[in-house]
Every structure is written in C-alpha cells, then in structure tokens.
Amino acid sequence: MEQLKRMALFAMVVERGSMVAAAGAMGMTASAVSQQIRRLEEATGVTLLHRTTRKLTLTEAGAQFYESCRQIVELAEQAAQRLAEQRDAPVGELRVAAPVGFSGPLLSEALAPLLSAHPGLSLSLFFHDEPIDLIESRIDLAIRVGRQEDSSLVARYVTDWRMILCAAPAYLARAGLPVEPSQLLKLDWIGLHLERSQHLTLHGPGGVQQRLRLEMRISCNNILASRQFTLAGMGVSLQPEPEVRELLARGELLPLLPDWHLEPIGLHIVTPRRDAQPAKVRYAIETLRRHLVSA
C-alpha cells in the first residue's frame, strides 16, 4: 500500500513539475516528498528523476514508469467515483439534446416519471435537428438518429424506427395514389434537408430494390415543418412512423406503397464521456432506452 501511495505521489510530482508544487497540492513538505520519491527509487532500483537546482527531468525509465503510475491513479479515481455514484440518487440539472421531432410527447412521457420520482432532479431540453457540440453546450446526453461517426463520443444503439412515405388525403385526391415506385417521381416532394434533390431506395416484394432521384419542391431543415407542409396537402414526405402514428390512425396522413419499405433509421443515445456517468445520466439513459424501444 505504501508503494502505491509513493507511485501516486510520483505521478503528482511529474504533473506539477516540481516537488514543491506537489507538496503544496498534497499538504506535505517538499523534503517529505523528496524522501518518498527517494524510497520509491530505492525500492525499484531505478533512477526516476534527474534533479538539478532549476528543474526536474524524467529519466527514460521514469517516463515509462510515470505512464503506469498515471493509469493506476486514474483507475483509483474512477473506482472512487463509481462507488460515490452508486450511493447517489439522480440530482442536479440533466441537460438533454434531441431532434426537433422529439419535442412532442416522446420525451415528456419518458422523463416526466423520472422527474416525479426524484424531486432533486431538474431538466433542460435542447431541440436541434442538426447535431450540436455536446461538450461546449454542457449536454449530458443526446438522442441522435442515423449513423454516428464522431469517435470522440459514446453512442449507445437503442433501436430502429421504421420510416414511411406519407401524404395528406387532400393531396392524394389531387395527385392520385401511386401504386408503384416510378409514380413517385411525378409527385411534389417535401425534403428534410436543404438539398434540392435526394435519393430514395425502396425495397419491395421478393427482394426487389428501386432507387429514385427525387426533386424537392419544398426543403426544410426541421422535421416538424416538413410534417406541417405534408398535413397542409403540399406533397409527400418521409416520416418516422412512431412520430406520425396518431396522425395515421386518425387518417390525417396516409401511407404510400405499403408493400414497399425503406431502410429504418437507428436511434442512439450519445454521451460525451466514456468513464462512469453520474446517477442522473445513468437513470435517464435507462429510462429513455425503455421508452424508445417500446415506442
């Protein structure tokens, strides 16, 4: 145990750049720090530091030893953090980012029970269809759709959502109900991205695929806006089925080409850190995972 303490002290000396600075951080005298480092060198049989009147420099062996010491200190800190987190209930501010389509009942139904059960927990929601910087915005977790390519974040796959082509009955009464994919080219399209043309791949009976290039009449960077234009009878759009399920049930939107389907979109819960999460984040991840899988 004494050797582990000396290893932690050695790491502190290296990180602070001097024994005096390390002594101040540890509440020790500089001579006591020097004595402990000397005992560490005697125990290992290796010189770890070159000492001059101006500065300390690591020997080659000391540099390698420091990396091991640093990792041990980090593991000890993580272990202590995990123990503390297991004791703690969800408290403080939980900051969650999600696509704009989640601003309806999807998140409120999931997180309201969590807030009711833990009075010390508060919630801040940020709705953006375009990804935001989680670290800069101090976001605890984000719900994101599609492929996740930012390796600096931790993405936990949750489930797949079915995507459907839909239009309002009034629009289909004017434009006609398509019975095969090629007829989609003649319809007015409402896109979720600002590009004027988009590609769509449909999978049909017997494994048949058809890829179409569609020209957008209306382009939006907000899925709620595209949905409102669709409900207003301005054209056809692609929507996540759970978000428009009630509209479909009420007949306000109608699905197109039911024998054909599109690739689903993957839902992920993303966090900016890989180490142990605070209780508020762990509880929220589990709550959202259960709700989104059953949506």
Each residue's pLDDT tens digit, 118-163: 998 999 999 988 878 888 889 999 999 887 776 678 889 999 999 9
CA distance 191 to 188: 10
Residues 6+ apart with CB under 8 A from 97: 125, 126, 127, 128, 132, 134, 137, 139, 141, 142, 143
Report whether 239 contacts 230 (CB < 8 A). Answer: yes
Residue 287's nearest CA partner among 129, 168, 121 is 121
Output the CATH code of domain 2-87. Answer: 1.10.10.10
Is 163-263 in the same CATH topology as 2-87?
no
CATH class of the domain defined by 92-161+266-294: alpha beta
| 100 phi and psi angles, rounded to 5 deg | -60, -30
Which residues fall within 8 angstroms of residue 226, CB to CB, at 6 or more apart? 190, 191, 192, 218, 220, 237, 239
Classify 51 as helix, strand or coil: strand
How is the chain split into domains, by residue range? 2-87, 92-161+266-294, 163-263
| CA–CA separation, 197 and 195 (whole Å) | 6
- Burial letters 1-15, b for 16+ CB under 10 A, else e: eeeeebbbbbbbbbe
Beta-bridge partner residues of 156: 269
What mean pLDDT is predicted for residues 185-193?
90
Confidence of residue 111 (pLDDT cuts 50, 70, 90): very high
CB atoms within 10 A of CB 269: 22
Owner of token pair 């984040």: 281
**Could you tell me which CATH number the domain at 163-263 has?**
3.40.190.290
Q: Of 143, 51, 163, 57, nearest to 103 (Cα)?
A: 143
pTM over 0.75: no
pLDDT digits (tens, 9 = 90+) for 62-92: 888 888 888 888 888 887 776 665 567 788 8
